[in-house]
Structure 1
């Protein structure tokens, strides 16, 4: 049996050379155990739908703590695009949206799909995004880019917000390792199955009061009701008074895992987590003659990079024509050395 790794007080059954967290994170053993227990209860007929409400609440509170907002501002969903769409469909007709060129399409497609209402989406180079955002009604961007790990100019985006632009941030590739203040944004959305070490099927949206006021609950269902267990039948519309009005019915087992993972992540020393993850990534960059980037994600180009890493037992992925590796809590110097040996051989 493979030895378990211990990191930040938890055990991980993660294989050596696993550097693919940007695609799918490996949960702490305690998180996987919680999901397994829930599945076992389901298998044996011991589950009841209200049993999962506590997990939904715990995961919601964990996301709120990680973002730095009151829990009343957080809605749940299953995917980023599903939640971004609720912001996009509530934009006034004719709005202008600015996005970074090469942005992940779960961020951009929901806005582009509003073209019939006159919503215009402009793609601009990353270096121009903050300046161009000040001229738009809304800017939507990943805090850390999926393909290359580039970190957004948060100070510039905050300046655009002060000029009247609504700022939407996707934290799917940053929340869980990046030590940055993001609670100021008008909307913050993130998926759980990468750096938040949760099962696929859970995502969250934190909205400011001003955005909340102009949003319409286009996906309203029973779980968006003021009391989900009494709003399952009949009209009139009885939505929750806070961001729960935008809830989508939860994926139960994903929420069980998130309830175990997010509160733990929120309780960690964020500066220490950042230093660990970025320290390994920038050490790799230094070994390969690259400049430090302050990101846990490293994009590697060159002949046969992917093949050499795979032969060395390194799990990575290919994005935008380059090989992507990422360092999270459970990675260590052995993983770094494995990559360096493979690429310097």
Structure 2
């Protein structure tokens, strides 16, 4: 697919790991919904159709049954029912640089003996040993861009019967991922899925659904949302929808067309584009090639040089972090390298 005209990216945006730029189709859908909201032109149901579309698109992207997909607003809130289901004294293994939305939900249960063990990325698989009850880790690390060896994590966890909970926020949309062998895959959509902040999607395996209590259940978690507005009669959806949080309508209005565009473009094609540009940038810095769309490097003075040149990237954990997505161009890469030339 020819992507020219699908985005309105200003040159120099190398910060999708912070937030993605909306494709024009998502932007236009959101503006239309806001215009209707402004004058009261419609009820909310047409906006909510986007929630179902986003749920279905996410299921296709990660190879899940749509009945096992739930919606929410944040990753940490989506993790909470899983953490609540852990037995007293459970041990959770994570990465020492794991983003805290996949750390704090487990740590807040320290008062009942839940222990979080953090190890360096390169030691994670070896640390999956008897006594670990749950492995909570990102498919791609936010600070370093390191891509998880997911098959190895799944295999090691299966050997000891540990649950596998993956934060896909820095991966889904550019890295091919399947839910096979995973118990939970939670993804916020405002980064690589290029959606408004406020739309989170998650997969829960049937075995994990049975362990978890839908403690945040409300009207939207019901089997029939339109007959669950009032009163004490509760009939929740039998699948993962019982873990739904009532969606932020406009976030999903923007998310549905963005996810569908990712499907049309193909994650494999996006992956090839992103990694090629990231590796071109790495080569210009004298770094070895990698398999990630995120480049993290310690380069004093780089942040100021980027700011002076109009390059928008990030500093995470004291290092420059540049991230490359489908709307990034070779001109963006060369502009960034030109700005950094005095420091290389």
TM-score by length of 1: 0.95
Aligned to 1:48: 43
1:62-81 counterparts in 2 under 5 A?
62-81=57-76
1:166 aligns with one of 153, 159, 163? 163
Aligned to 1:236: 233
Aligned to 2:301: 304
CA distance, structure 1, for counterparts of residue 134 and residue 245 of structure 2 = 24
> Following TM superposition, by how much is the alpha carbon of 1:52 offset from its aligned partner in structure 2, in angstroms?
2.4
Aligned length: 340
Is 2:328 the partner of 1:331? yes
Point out the more displaced range, 117-126 or 196-205. 117-126
Aligned to 1:59: 54
> Following TM superposition, by how much is the alpha carbon of 1:161 offset from its aligned partner in structure 2, in angstroms?
2.8
Aligned to 2:141: 145
Q: Where in structure 2 are there 5+ consecutive unaligned residues?
A: none
Q: Is the 8 A contact 1:131 1:156 kept in 2?
A: no
1:1-345 counterparts in 2 under 5 A?
8=3, 11-135=6-130, 136-163=132-159, 164-345=161-342
CA distance, structure 2, for counterparts of residue 190 and residue 139 of structure 1 = 16
> Following TM superposition, by how much is the alpha carbon of 1:10 offset from its aligned partner in structure 2, in angstroms?
5.5
Deviation string, structure 1 residues 77-125 (Cα, Å, up to 9, x no partner): 0011110112111112221100000110001000111112221111111
Aligned partner of residue 176 in structure 1, secondary structure: coil
CA distance, structure 1, for counterparts of residue 65 and residue 253 of structure 2 = 21
Point out the more displaced range, 28-37 or 154-163. 154-163
Distance verdict in 2 for CA 1:182–1:292, change over 3 Å: farther
Q: Is the 8 A contact 1:158 1:185 kept in 2?
A: yes
Aligned partner of residue 321 in structure 2, secondary structure: strand
Distance verdict in 2 for CA 1:27–1:304, change over 3 Å: same
CA distance, structure 2, for counterparts of residue 236 and residue 10 of structure 1 = 50
Aligned partner of residue 12 in structure 1, secondary structure: coil
> Following TM superposition, by how much is the alpha carbon of 1:235 offset from its aligned partner in structure 2, in angstroms?
1.6
Q: Is the 8 A contact 1:61 1:263 kept in 2?
A: no
Q: Is the 8 A contact 2:193 2:262 kept in 1?
A: yes
CA distance, structure 2, for counterparts of residue 341 and residue 125 of structure 1 = 33
Distance verdict in 2 for CA 1:149–1:60, change over 3 Å: same
> Following TM superposition, by how much is the alpha carbon of 1:132 offset from its aligned partner in structure 2, in angstroms?
1.5
Deviation string, structure 1 residues 283-311 (Cα, Å, up to 9, x no partner): 11111111112100011212211011111
Distance verdict in 2 for CA 1:7–1:318, change over 3 Å: farther
Aligned partner of residue 225 in structure 2, secondary structure: coil
Q: Is the 8 A contact 1:141 1:169 kept in 2?
A: yes
Q: Is the 8 A contact 2:64 2:178 kept in 1?
A: no
TM-score by length of 2: 0.96
Aligned partner of residue 205 in structure 1, secondary structure: strand
Aligned partner of residue 283 in structure 1, secondary structure: helix
> Following TM superposition, by how much is the alpha carbon of 1:232 offset from its aligned partner in structure 2, in angstroms?
1.3
Point out the more displaced range, 179-188 or 223-232. 179-188
Q: Is the 8 A contact 1:134 1:165 kept in 2?
A: no
Aligned partner of residue 124 in structure 2, secondary structure: helix
> Following TM superposition, by how much is the alpha carbon of 1:7 offset from its aligned partner in structure 2, in angstroms?
5.6
CA distance, structure 2, for counterparts of residue 71 and residue 22 of structure 1 = 27
* Shift >4 Å, 4+ stretches: none
